[in-house]
Structure 1
Amino acid sequence: MWGLDRESKKPLYQQIADHIERRISFGEFPPGSLLPSERKLAEQIGVNRSTVVQAFAELRSLGIIESRSGSGTRVSQFKWGASPKHTPNWNRYAQGGSFLPNLPFLRRIREALSQDPSLVDFASGELAADLAPTSEISEIMSSHQYASYLGYDNPQGYIPLRQALVRYLAEYRGLQATESSILITSGSQQSLFLITQCLLSPGDAVAIEDPSYYYSLPMFQSAGLRIFRLPVDQDGMRLEEIRGLYKKHRIKMIFTNPNFQNPTGTLLADERRHQLLQTASELGLPIIEDDPYSLTDYEGLPRMPLKSIDTSGSVIYIGSFSKIAASGLRIGWMVAPNSVVLRLADARQQMDFGLSVIPQQVAAQFLESDFFEPHLSRLRTNLMYKRDLLIEALRKELPGEIQFHIPKGGHHLWCKLSEPVNDAKLLEAAIRNGVVFVPGSVYGSDAGFVRFTFARAKSECIGQGIAGFARALHSLRN
């Protein structure tokens, strides 16, 4: 990553000008593209604004950039040369296409974390390094021999991993599967992407939970799907409206996260589980069950998935390593009818010719190693400890100002503020106070809700992060 050399004899403004010129010449900033503002660039680099002003002046004098009042600073349309050169309008292309970008709040959070890694991170969904089985996986990688053939693998996924998953699903999830009913994916998101792109058509209606992680995924809108929401209460998704939605809108699928739901942390009550399966069976509706958090049950008694009690074949089951082990392995799986698996495997092969075989080998070995069960036990204990630290900090810093249901598993604490404030203003104030979180509106809720994810932040930083959030909240109310 580029940085200023403060020991160099070359002035700082000249280093900045040279760096921007280099990025322009490499095509990172095509002609006509907007450059960061002087103030923003100064904050990113860590210099006075006057230094950036001087660098921009140098580039303007060379005709490389041009500034207009009210329009910002842009790369000159015609780079270095008197004769016009027709460059593609890359901005127009970048803003086009049918695949939508991430929501603005999520992009802002990512930008803030990249600019200031010291922010206390209550937003990211992955495990912190101290919760991941890093040493165990390192030992597996150093002590096992890997396949000498590194060509394209089976489009359904590495066969020994699928065989290991058959045993894992039976032992830990009460779910009977065969290797031909399993598709290996690069995480749950790819499973969802394949389903929305290959099993549904533009204009189809689907039902999701409200609030829901699915609401934050532009892939549903990119696929042209119509989304209808089913409210979530303390017992999980409410089911009264399913028949009405089916009759009125002909919904084609129901997407649910029944165990320690994201973002609310709730469990779908047993009675509702059976009711959901019965309704789906009567209507011939597929259920897409995303189950990333079940094994984090703090009592060590993981709730069984809907798929384990599905007697009519209504459920496609999605799982992943990301929330229980290592997101960097990019290993997920789907259990579905073989015809669906073959269809999606064919589509995935068109995308990437299959996953890398080495992470699949590591995952298979980890699943069947003596490391797996002790890791899960430590994970549950440490997650519960972080949850309790978060709750203690909230009660200390915001007594009477915030409400929440205490989850018995998962990574998230869903909170309701006693007095709603503007989500965008609260997030910006929080960033200024050294912390990031996800506003509830990202998941489809009204203003006044926030999601704190406690799996990512370091234990010793949780109190500090909530104190920063409290300062941000109070600054907007005073």
Structure 2
Amino acid sequence: MEWKPDRTDKKPIYKQIVEYIEQGISSGEFSPDSSLPSERTLAKELDVNRSTVVAAYEELQSIGLVERKKGSGTRISTDIWGISHKRIPNWGRYVEDGSFLPNLPLVQRIRTETQKNHLINLASGELAPDLFPTDQFHTILSKHPFNGHLGYGHPQGNEVLRETISNHVKEYKNIDISPESILITSGAQQALHLIVQCLLKPGDAVAIEDPSYCFSLPIFQSAGLRTFLLPVDEHGVNPDDIISLHKKHRIRMLFLNPDHQNPTGTKLHINRRKRILELSSEFGIPIIEDDPYSLTSFNGEIGPNLKSMDYNGNVLYISSLSKIAASGLRIGWIIGPQKVIERLADAKQQVDFGHSVFPQWVANEFLGSVHFNEHILMLRKRLKERRDEMISALNEFLGSQVEFFVPEGGIHMWCKLNAPIDDYHLLEKSMEKGVAFVPGSVLASKKGYVRFTFGRGETHLIREGISRFADALKSIQSDQQI
């Protein structure tokens, strides 16, 4: 072969070999049933390790381009053109080359494993089934028959639901906004995607909290954005850090979760809220306020949300029913300047032609009924009980091995392990013991943390889950001492 791999390319050499042979097959340079050089011969020709060639040939075999037989070497497959002599797409290559990045492998693993019934799930960021307003929904569905329109709706979402949300945020969060400035979304996740895709461009710099849920999301990298981190302490992010980042990188957008932040549970101090809004106006930086948890405040004190203090239209406010009612309902909303909402609504129309009719109807009936406030009061009480149960279990089974911030709302507990540990290894061992959590490295730049979700764990299983985690930690520490 005259071709040589490019050692300055960041792409692994075995991948370069795979692509070269694949292109040779497409161009006819390598015809079906022809032989490829032996692993040893090709390694010598390309001046690479034999293991590199083995990896390349194994990938080519896995996607059906070559056949390998012991004693006969490696040959181009005779079936690559299919029965009708049409080339079969290399789906593996398409999967790898797409611009929309997949979730981190660890995140995918956690989501797969938590579907298994034998695991105590302290990982998933949602409410436990017994905290859903199931009875209230049954009442709504039985007493209020649906008689709405079944065609495509308004691009921004059902008009009646948007009116109800407008009244809801005014009553509970002191946000005074018209229905025209609201867009219904498929939860907060879709809201973030629409904002990133429609309002930013590749190369833009954005600031996110560290730790934060956003840290785990590939949407920023998929969009070609540069992300910079704002450390979170017990009072939230420090406005001085925003100034420093903006001077260095010209921050274009700021993503914040001010109330009972995921994962730390902290609440952004009121003085910092005021200062951040001042900086937003001074520098012209939009703020994306993600507010899934403020209604869970255990003492009933809510806000003030950044949006309720926003007199200049600098804040895009995101919220949903996912963390306070039912994640499967997929009802969220964005509140912001009308021209921004119209732009985002246009993009949503391109994706799904508007939100599903029935979830919007159910959400409207629930939000506008007496059932909603009854549910929130129940939710606060039970979440506080579960938080207290987790604190008790952490103290009993882990004691001085962990430090943690006690949240006054939300569903998460952020714990610092006081001894160095490989959190991936700890997760594997914990799942062997029958409990799942989220390693801190998924959510933060600093090592040595874990996130437990007390909102997802049933009360009677929280203590058992922490006990199993403690057993896993003890097992790893024992192995390290051998």
Specify the alignment match of 1:193 in structure 2. Answer: 193
CA distance in 2, matches of 1:100, 1:152: 30
Specify the alignment match of 2:473 in structure 1. Answer: 473
Specify the alignment match of 2:439 in structure 1. Answer: 439
CA distance in 2, matches of 1:140, 1:381: 23
Give the CA deviation at 1:303. Answer: 2.2
Specify the alignment match of 1:14 in structure 2. Answer: none
Seen in structure 2, the aligned counterparts of structure 1 residues 77 and 87 have a Cα distance that, compared at 3 Å, is farther
For the Cα contact (< 8 Å) 2:101–2:221, is it kept in 1? yes
For the Cα contact (< 8 Å) 1:411–1:455, is it kept in 2? yes
CA distance in 1, matches of 2:214, 2:128: 23
For the Cα contact (< 8 Å) 2:440–2:450, is it kept in 1? yes
CA distance in 2, matches of 1:87, 1:416: 50
Specify the alignment match of 1:348 in structure 2. Answer: 348
Seen in structure 2, the aligned counterparts of structure 1 residues 148 and 309 have a Cα distance that, compared at 3 Å, is closer
CA distance in 1, matches of 2:261, 2:131: 20
For the Cα contact (< 8 Å) 2:402–2:416, is it kept in 1? yes
| Gapped regions of structure 2 (runs ≥ 5) | 1-63, 71-76
Specify the alignment match of 1:50 in structure 2. Answer: none
Specify the alignment match of 1:412 in structure 2. Answer: 412
Secondary structure in 2 aligned to 1:375? helix
For the Cα contact (< 8 Å) 2:80–2:88, is it kept in 1? no
1:456-478 CA distance string (max 9 Å, x none):
11111111111110111111111
CA distance in 2, matches of 1:236, 1:439: 21
Specify the alignment match of 2:292 in structure 1. Answer: 292
Q: 1:136 corresponds to which letter in structure 2?
A: Q
Secondary structure in 2 aligned to 1:150? coil
CA distance in 2, matches of 1:68, 1:477: 45
CA distance in 1, matches of 2:106, 2:182: 35
For the Cα contact (< 8 Å) 1:252–1:286, is it kept in 2? yes
What does residue range 170-209 of structure 1 map to in structure 2 within 5 Å? 170-209=170-209
Q: 1:134 corresponds to which letter in structure 2?
A: T
Q: 2:327 corresponds to which letter in structure 1?
A: S
Q: 1:86 corresponds to which letter in structure 2?
A: R
- Aligned-residue sequence identity (percent) comes to 53
Secondary structure in 2 aligned to 1:400? helix
Specify the alignment match of 1:106 in structure 2. Answer: 107
CA distance in 2, matches of 1:104, 1:436: 15
Give the CA deviation at 1:264. Answer: 0.3
Secondary structure in 2 aligned to 1:183? strand
Give the CA deviation at 1:152. Answer: 0.7
Specify the alignment match of 1:119 in structure 2. Answer: 119
CA distance in 1, matches of 2:428, 2:190: 31
For the Cα contact (< 8 Å) 1:183–1:345, is it kept in 2? yes
CA distance in 2, matches of 1:183, 1:255: 18
CA distance in 2, matches of 1:216, 1:230: 15
For the Cα contact (< 8 Å) 1:294–1:304, is it kept in 2? no
| Gapped regions of structure 1 (runs ≥ 5) | 1-62, 70-75
CA distance in 1, matches of 2:318, 2:124: 20
Seen in structure 2, the aligned counterparts of structure 1 residues 286 and 378 have a Cα distance that, compared at 3 Å, is same
Seen in structure 2, the aligned counterparts of structure 1 residues 171 and 422 have a Cα distance that, compared at 3 Å, is same
Secondary structure in 2 aligned to 1:240? helix
CA distance in 2, matches of 1:283, 1:147: 49
Secondary structure in 2 aligned to 1:241? helix
CA distance in 2, matches of 1:148, 1:185: 19
Specify the alignment match of 2:169 in structure 1. Answer: 169
For the Cα contact (< 8 Å) 1:230–1:239, is it kept in 2? no
For the Cα contact (< 8 Å) 2:80–2:87, is it kept in 1? no
Give the CA deviation at 1:286. Answer: 0.5
Matched, 1:364 2:375: no
Taking structure 1 as the reference length, what is the TM-score of the superposition? 0.82
1:413-438 CA distance string (max 9 Å, x none):
00000102112101100100000000
How many aligned positions are there? 408
Secondary structure in 2 aligned to 1:231? strand
CA distance in 2, matches of 1:148, 1:386: 39
Give the CA deviation at 1:280. Answer: 0.8
Seen in structure 2, the aligned counterparts of structure 1 residues 83 and 323 have a Cα distance that, compared at 3 Å, is closer
Specify the alignment match of 1:261 in structure 2. Answer: 261
CA distance in 2, matches of 1:308, 1:213: 23
Secondary structure in 2 aligned to 1:232? strand
Give the CA deviation at 1:304. Answer: 2.3
1:10-60 CA distance string (max 9 Å, x none):
xxxxxxxxxxxxxxxxxxxxxxxxxxxxxxxxxxxxxxxxxxxxxxxxxxx
Task: Report the more deviating stretch, 298-307 or 330-339.
Answer: 298-307
CA distance in 2, matches of 1:218, 1:324: 25
Specify the alignment match of 1:128 in structure 2. Answer: 128
Give the CA deviation at 1:446. Answer: 1.8
Give the CA deviation at 1:79. Answer: 9.2
Give the CA deviation at 1:318. Answer: 0.5
CA distance in 2, matches of 1:82, 1:222: 37
CA distance in 2, matches of 1:211, 1:264: 7
CA distance in 2, matches of 1:105, 1:420: 20
Give the CA deviation at 1:82. Answer: 8.4
CA distance in 2, matches of 1:68, 1:371: 67
Q: 1:152 corresponds to which letter in structure 2?
A: Y
CA distance in 2, matches of 1:117, 1:91: 31
Give the CA deviation at 1:165. Answer: 0.6
Secondary structure in 1 aligned to 2:131? coil
Specify the alignment match of 1:93 in structure 2. Answer: 94
For the Cα contact (< 8 Å) 2:81–2:87, is it kept in 1? no
Specify the alignment match of 2:6 in structure 1. Answer: none
Secondary structure in 1 aligned to 2:400? coil
Give the CA deviation at 1:245. Answer: 1.8
Seen in structure 2, the aligned counterparts of structure 1 residues 386 and 83 have a Cα distance that, compared at 3 Å, is same
Specify the alignment match of 2:236 in structure 1. Answer: 236
CA distance in 2, matches of 1:436, 1:273: 34
Give the CA deviation at 1:78. Answer: 3.9
Seen in structure 2, the aligned counterparts of structure 1 residues 455 and 84 have a Cα distance that, compared at 3 Å, is same
Specify the alignment match of 2:42 in structure 1. Answer: none
Give the CA deviation at 1:145. Answer: 2.4
Taking structure 2 as the reference length, what is the TM-score of the superposition? 0.82
Specify the alignment match of 1:454 in structure 2. Answer: 454
Give the CA deviation at 1:80. Answer: 13
Q: 2:108 corresponds to which letter in structure 1?
A: R
Seen in structure 2, the aligned counterparts of structure 1 residues 221 and 82 have a Cα distance that, compared at 3 Å, is closer
